[in-house]
Amino acid sequence: MESHILLVQCPDEPGLIYRITRILYEQGCNIIRNQEFVDAESAHFFMRTEFTGGHGNGDLIERLRTDLPAGAEIRIAPVQDRRLVVLVTKEPHCLGELLLLNEFRELSASVLAVIGNHETLGRLAERFDIPFHFISHEGLSRPDHEARIAEVAAAYEPDYLVLAKYMRVLGPDFLKQFRHRIINIHHSFLPAFVGAQPYRQAFERGVKIIGATAHFVTEVLDEGPIIAQSVIPVDHTYNPKRMAQAGRDIEKLVLARAVKLVCQDRVVLVGNRTVVFE
Amino acid sequence: MESHILLVQCPDEPGLIYRITRILYEQGCNIIRNQEFVDAESAHFFMRTEFTGGHGNGDLIERLRTDLPAGAEIRIAPVQDRRLVVLVTKEPHCLGELLLLNEFRELSASVLAVIGNHETLGRLAERFDIPFHFISHEGLSRPDHEARIAEVAAAYEPDYLVLAKYMRVLGPDFLKQFRHRIINIHHSFLPAFVGAQPYRQAFERGVKIIGATAHFVTEVLDEGPIIAQSVIPVDHTYNPKRMAQAGRDIEKLVLARAVKLVCQDRVVLVGNRTVVFE
Amino acid sequence: MESHILLVQCPDEPGLIYRITRILYEQGCNIIRNQEFVDAESAHFFMRTEFTGGHGNGDLIERLRTDLPAGAEIRIAPVQDRRLVVLVTKEPHCLGELLLLNEFRELSASVLAVIGNHETLGRLAERFDIPFHFISHEGLSRPDHEARIAEVAAAYEPDYLVLAKYMRVLGPDFLKQFRHRIINIHHSFLPAFVGAQPYRQAFERGVKIIGATAHFVTEVLDEGPIIAQSVIPVDHTYNPKRMAQAGRDIEKLVLARAVKLVCQDRVVLVGNRTVVFE
Amino acid sequence: MESHILLVQCPDEPGLIYRITRILYEQGCNIIRNQEFVDAESAHFFMRTEFTGGHGNGDLIERLRTDLPAGAEIRIAPVQDRRLVVLVTKEPHCLGELLLLNEFRELSASVLAVIGNHETLGRLAERFDIPFHFISHEGLSRPDHEARIAEVAAAYEPDYLVLAKYMRVLGPDFLKQFRHRIINIHHSFLPAFVGAQPYRQAFERGVKIIGATAHFVTEVLDEGPIIAQSVIPVDHTYNPKRMAQAGRDIEKLVLARAVKLVCQDRVVLVGNRTVVFE
């Protein structure tokens, strides 16, 4: 039986769970999993409900809209794969992980295409029969290059873009077009080591743990809402190169995990933070 | 304002969340945190609700009993410290952790007394002004020794007994008296290495990770429901003694964590497993 | 400049490091990394030395043999990729990880061929241009099936066989042929949950952490020397199927890590335990 | 038999291990554990050797000095407890951990005294019969306050000062007096969230992991060489207060671990980084 995900967020007030679950019950929906969260700082209520059954989601949304406080955001979507376009430069490990999970239908998403500003990873995409678009930045202004990428990506009607070690900063026009729909992997435990060469920075600071951070991309570099993070221990025997090697495993896992969480409608934005219903 | 915890478990059926939250709403309760779980194997529904307000819990329980399926278990308790008696032998680290957390009111419980089958830890309990009862097992049959402990412990009217490295197996009469109310720390990642000398066993098996397990004590040794577990990496340089040293940190943390979870009404038994609402 | 790895093990006695490093120095070798370990239980000395230079390893071995205690085991091998044949059944995640790392030369080894007792993963091997041999067990006795696999594998002259979720127990003749050269991934934190369906066992025991173990295969099922282990937390919401999904990430990482460690001459056997020079 | 630790650091060149172990051998020392490290960035060699026996360490040092490159730093010290003075403000968890480990001789050090700029923790120190000095900062200039602390601390002839949640920044005169001998615990995963209220900062940045860092104190706040770090996962349900609670366990463990490492002569400074021989 088809499942749906209901996501609700609204100002908190007493009786919200009761009102929402009553409507679901009266509409004939069967709740499989229900998760709530109240953010005390903003006095906002969040709920994610996975349910089966019901007599049409149009009615459901309408009844919820009537019953919930003004300003409530309500979203219902079937549990089904989301559409992804992946952007890459030269490093293969994150793309490889996504392509393997895609091949075996474990991503809660379909990788429709890969776009690279270098040709390097074309062969890898081809091995999995995924279209690869080589769009070099050479000889193009940044806006022109990004416009070209945006055009190619948009043609696939993606739900999300995934930056799988795409090593260029994206400009405001591009970000506006895919607002809150770009997932990036940063190779450090943000907010430590923003910017370039985080492993070099980590080495020089002499840290004993390194990390990786998957986040939504916003206008301010490396400052977007964090979706998932992971770390591994290192010691004095790790130079920046060996840190980078060790970091690859967590980078690819954290990125894949973030993509799955987002594509399963488990991630909700609260300002610059995320609520993640796992 | 005083908080209460409502714990419900019953056979699963549609509309349970709605029915329960409606009653809470109509009784004037304000839900602070709500967590649900449906165990698909047993088709059982579990819910933990933290709420403030309401016009008397007697009415609330009665209304819930009327509205919920037959066989529902319903429990409401105020959020307040539970009463603990701690049993020890000679090793100080778990007792020390509990006494420190107790001293600074971070245990969600009060340590009322310590009972030791050796005198070793009397001085430590005394440092924190906690009564220490030395009840030697020497010259006593096991049932007699345990009856003596049970008598002294019961006088404190404890909610739970905590075995903080109490190194003797408890017999059926004792267990019956404190059924589902004894929390033990076992120094391995159960079910690996049941029985005596788990670190020696771990060393001989050459494992690369060691663990600790906090669990409720049942008739079958080391087979009770697991509340919390934790692990740390080891390597070939660890002999059993060094493993034991390294294990102390996780033993004390896991035991303290389990005690807090239980005393905050976050742990529900499902057969030999636990639902832990964190 | 070419690097070599020297591995020495012998009964412990004073002056061993001095004697070995003197010979290396006098032979013109430059030590890049040196690691020693004395196993107090067996009074055995172990040393792994990575070095460059030297005037021929024949002389070096001869001099070491003369100078070290009787019974010393001495091995020198150039730092170069080892030859692997991978055995699989149906699950793709471990094979996929190995093929990706192989593709990008990050395995310290070359995957020469994949052998499956089902056809399922042939397409995946083919995507990476790695020969796939389908050798069904149907209609064959176990010894005949294994003899067939051994023949095909041996033709590749592999240094190691990797069981990447090969779901059949191997018999004594096969094991004898590849003694200490077969690496397996077991989907539990051994020695917990030996045998079939470890995730089902883990679920029923209600553990809060699950694991994966890479080990050498020996005659006794799931009892071989452990090379690497890893774990992840789970909770009551994980049924056996979800545990298996969550376990895939650690299975593939632990197996790949064990393969790298072995192929970099970092793993030495001490009875049924391993010394791992990381 | 008494053990000693030899620590050597010098410019790297071929044959160093050979030369050092020869001298140890010829002096009749028996090496129990030997660890080396070459920092490729600075081309510096580091070695830590634990040994028993020998005919007087004076000769040993002299011979090493003669044989090793100019500028070599050589230190030999018996394996014995170091002398500690602990500085605190109001939070008890780190002090409690140190006092418990001290009580049971598990710190590789002796806590000689506790100095607090508030009276709060006097009772805790007293419970363990450790002298407590209350030195209020009120009405004193910073230099005067620190001079007073330095005087009291110095009277105990400590090897190291431990800042166990001492919440004031120390000035240059104080730092000069105890140069490289002050160990601090910072309640974040440095270099993320330097300065005040790191948990508030972590909450606002929406991180999914929080950490703690033990480091030597230098003139630049939160920039000293890192000795040990640890992290734990958090999620959206953690506000700054709950993060602080969760952080206490790792703060106390990381600080205790750093103290042990330093007091066992396992930590060597390389510029602003540390080599930690575990």
List chain A residues with CB under 8 Å of D207: 190-191, 226, 229
pLDDT of residue D56: 72
Q: What is the mean pLDDT of residues B26-51?
A: 93
Terminal Cα-to-Cα distance of chain A (whole angstroms): 22
Structure tokens at C96: 């996929």
pLDDT tens figures, C172-198: 999 999 999 999 999 998 898 988 899
Nearest CB to D127 within list B93, B128, B248:
B128
The answer for D 52-91 residues in CB contact with C (under 8 A) is: none
Q: Is A142 exposed, middle or buried (0-12, 13-18, 19+ CB in 10 A)?
A: middle
Length of chain B: 278
Give the burial string for C105-115 (b: 16+ CB within 10 Å, else e).
eebbbbbbbbb
pLDDT of residue A221: 82
List chain D residues with CB under 8 Å of C17: 17, 21, 31, 34
Where does the pLDDT of residue B161 fall: very low under 50, low under 70, confident under 90, or very high at 90 and above? Answer: very high
Structure tokens at C274: 């391993």
Amino acid at residue number B39: D
Structure tokens at D90: 């109001």
pLDDT of residue B221: 82
Q: How far is D247 from chain B (nearest CA, A)?
A: 12
DSSP secondary structure letter of residue B72: -
Structure tokens at B84: 């603990």
D126: contact with B, CB 8 A cutoff: no
Q: Let me know if domain C3-78 sits in CATH 3.40.50.880.
A: no
pLDDT of residue D75: 94
pLDDT of residue C63: 94
Nearest one of D164, D161, D255, D170 to D221, comparing CA atoms: D170
- Residue B162's DSSP bridge partners are B86, B183
The answer for C 88-107 residues in CB contact with A (under 8 A) is: 92-93, 96-97, 100, 103-104, 106
Non-local CB neighbours of A24 within 8 Å, separated by 6+ positions: A6, A31, A49, A51, A54, A60, B18
pLDDT tens figures, C64-116: 999 999 999 999 999 999 999 999 999 999 999 999 999 999 999 999 999 99
Structure tokens at D78: 């018996």
Structure tokens at D167: 């919440």
Interface test with A, best of C100, C102, C128 (most A CBs within 10 A): C100
Q: How far is D234 from chain A (nearest CA, A)?
A: 10
Nearest one of C98, C125, C113, C122 to C158, comparing CA atoms: C113
Amino acid at residue number B49: T
pLDDT tens figures, C224-256: 999 999 999 999 999 999 999 999 999 999 999
Our answer to whether residue C222 is catalytic in this structure is yes
Structure tokens at D146: 């620190």
Non-local CB neighbours of C179 within 8 Å, separated by 6+ positions: none
Q: What is the mean pLDDT of residues C199-220?
A: 94
Pairwise CA distance, residues B241 & A59, whole Å: 66
Nearest one of C71, C43, C60 to C6, comparing CA atoms: C60
Non-local CB neighbours of B181 within 8 Å, separated by 6+ positions: B158, B159, B160, B161
Question: Cβ atoms within 10 A of the Cβ of B261, count?
Answer: 20
DSSP string of B203-269, one letter each residue: HHHT-SEEEEEEEE--SSTT-SPEEEEEEEE--TT--HHHHHHHHHHHHHHHHHHHHHHHHTT-EEE
Answer yes or no: same fold for A3-78 and A82-276.
no
What are the angstrom distances between the C-alpha of C232 and each of B229, D123, D237, D238? Answer: 11, 40, 21, 21
Ranges of each domain in chain B: 3-78, 82-276
pLDDT tens figures, A131-161: 999 999 999 999 999 999 999 999 999 999 9
List chain B residues with CB under 8 Å of D93: 100, 104
Backbone angles phi, psi at B105, to 5 degrees: 55, 45
Strand, coil or helix: what is A271? coil
In terms of C-beta distances under 8 Å and separation of at least 24 residues, what long-range contacts does A34-39 make, across chains too?
A34/B17, A34/B36, A35/A277, A35/B35, A36/B33, A36/B34, A37/A275, A37/A277, A37/D236, A37/D237, A38/A12, A38/B32, A38/B33, A39/A270, A39/A275, A39/D236
pLDDT tens figures, B124-144: 999 999 999 999 999 999 999
Contact A146, A174 (CB under 8 A): yes
pLDDT of residue B220: 87
Give D256's Cβ-side CA count (13 Å radius): 22
Pairwise CA distance, residues C61 & C58, whole Å: 5
Where does the pLDDT of residue B90 fall: very low under 50, low under 70, confident under 90, or very high at 90 and above? Answer: very high
Give the burial string for D228-244 (b: 16+ CB within 10 Å, else e).
bbbbeebebebebeebb
Catalytic (active-site) positions of B = 222
Pairwise CA distance, residues C146 & C131, whole Å: 19
Cis peptide before B92 (omega within 30 of 0): no
Q: How far is D117 from chain A (nearest CA, A)?
A: 30
Where does the pLDDT of residue A196 fall: very low under 50, low under 70, confident under 90, or very high at 90 and above? Answer: confident
Work out the angle at residue D22's Cα, subtended by the Cα atoms of residues D21 and D28, and round it to the nearest 5 degrees.
90
Chains with 3 or more CB pairs closer than 8 angstroms to C? A, B, D
DSSP string of B120-167, one letter each residue: TTHHHHHHTT--EEE---TTS-HHHHHHHHHHHHHTT--SEEEESS--
Q: Which CATH class name applies to C82-276?
A: alpha beta
pLDDT tens figures, B253-271: 999 999 999 999 999 999 8
Structure tokens at D250: 């790792």
Q: Do C34 and D22 touch (CB under 8 A)?
A: no
Q: Which stretches does DSSP call E strand in A118-264? A: 132-134, 160-163, 182-186, 209-216, 226-233
Q: Are strands D132-134 and C73-78 parallel, antiparallel or unpaired?
A: unpaired
Contact A159, A180 (CB under 8 A): no
Q: Do B276 and C208 touch (CB under 8 A)?
A: yes
pLDDT at A171 > cutoff 90: yes
pLDDT at B57 > cutoff 90: no
Interface test with C, best of A32, A33, A99, A104 (most C CBs within 10 A): A104
Nearest CB to B249 within list D93, D104, D253:
D253
Cα dihedral C148, C151, C155, C159, rounded to 10, equals: 110
Q: Is B105 exposed, middle or buried (0-12, 13-18, 19+ CB in 10 A)?
A: exposed
Q: What is the mean pLDDT of residues A163-171?
A: 96
Stretches where chain D sits below pLDDT 50 are: none
pLDDT at A1 > cutoff 90: no
D186's torsion region: left (phi>0), alpha (psi -120 to 50) or beta? Answer: beta
Q: Do D100 and B104 touch (CB under 8 A)?
A: no
Q: Do C21 and D15 touch (CB under 8 A)?
A: yes
Where does the pLDDT of residue A41 fall: very low under 50, low under 70, confident under 90, or very high at 90 and above? Answer: confident
Nearest CB to D206 within list A205, A225, A235:
A225
Contact D65, D72 (CB under 8 A): yes
